[in-house]
Amino acid sequence: MLPREYEILYNLENSYWWFTGMKLIMDRILGPTIKPSSKLLDVGCGTGGRLQMLSRRCQTWGIDCHPRAAGYCRQRGLANITQGDAASLPYSDGMFTHVTCCDVLQNLEDDRAGIREAFRVLKPGGLYYISEQAFPLLRSQHDISQEAIRRYTQRRLQQLLTDPGFEILRMTGANSILFPALAAYRLASRMTHPVESVKREQARSHIFPLPGALNSALFQVLKLEGKWIASGRNLPWGLSVIVLAKKPGPEPLSTDYS
């Protein structure tokens, strides 16, 4: 993402409805699989909001390409933070039981390499959690501000994951209830700020502080989706697509969502 976006992320990551709601959904899906002995790597850890949550469950590592992100993570008191490349991870084979990757593959020139690296550093039976922006038609100046190269379809992610050998356990949409309104907002943004004419340095994200009541109401919608997903339902569409995949191994980790 553009450097100024890291400050926005750091200031809003623990309060803005989208960030807090998506962290809740992650915890609903991934939490039951994590033990105190687990070792988790967050690829593209940003300013560390997810790692703060996950570090309460197990030992964590974080890597991000931008030095500003690593600095913000350290301000949060997080350890094991590295500046580096998601497509060339500086970790040994089979080091982790879990790898998380949220809104990162969309930024990589070679997303296949990023997935292969996650496969490599996972132990057999290890779990890979991905959350990416969906529907290529909705690409807008927000994507440019995040330096995102692409958006994904579920079919595309399935192909990318199964090629190196991942087994897909869950695939669900997220931000589904609000999808019609949010999609209309993104399409309107495309009309007022055509992607092909937006300069990188002028692009603005769609993330900004909201009135408390509105922010809380939007979070409650994602909280409801989190309950549905935790019950084992996969939502057919949404502004994001979430995948939980497994590296083949003899001892699959628990995925009991009850």
More confident residue, 106 or 201: 106
Q: Structure pTM?
A: 0.92
Structure token digits, residue 118: 């996650």
Distances (CA, A) of 77 to 17, 45, 59, 201: 23, 14, 14, 31
pLDDT for 78-107, tens place per residue? 999 999 999 999 999 999 999 999 999 999
pLDDT in tens, 109-135: 999 999 999 999 999 999 999 999 999
* Cα separation, 127 vs 145, whole angstroms: 30
Residue 250: count of CB within 10 angstroms of its CB? 6
Which DSSP letter does residue 185 get? H
Q: Is the pLDDT at 25 greater than 80, yes or no?
A: yes
Round the average pLDDT of the chain to a whole number and report it.
91
- Is pLDDT of 45 > 60? yes
Domains identified in the chain and CATH numbers: 3-246 (3.40.50.150)
- The DSSP bridge partners found for residue 88 are 85
Backbone φ and ψ of 165, nearest 5°: 120, 5
Over residues 205-231, the pLDDT tens digits come to 778 899 999 999 999 999 999 999 999
Whether residue 105 contacts residue 224, with contact meaning beta carbons closer than 8 Å, is answered with: no
Q: According to the model, what pLDDT value does residue 254 have?
A: 52
User: Given pLDDT bands bounded at 50, 70 and 90, which one contains residue 258?
Assistant: very low
pLDDT (mean) for 57-71: 94
At residue 177 the predicted structure's pLDDT band, cuts being 50, 70 and 90, is very high
Q: Which tokens in the block code for residue 54?
A: 């996950």
> Looking at residues 195-205, what average pLDDT do you find?
73
**148 alpha-carbon distance from chain centroid:** 13
State how far the Cα of 217 lies from the Cα of 234, in Å rounded to an integer.
22
Give the residue among 115, 117, 157 at the shortest CA–CA distance from 135: 157
Cα angle at 239 between 211 and 221, to 5 degrees?
A: 45
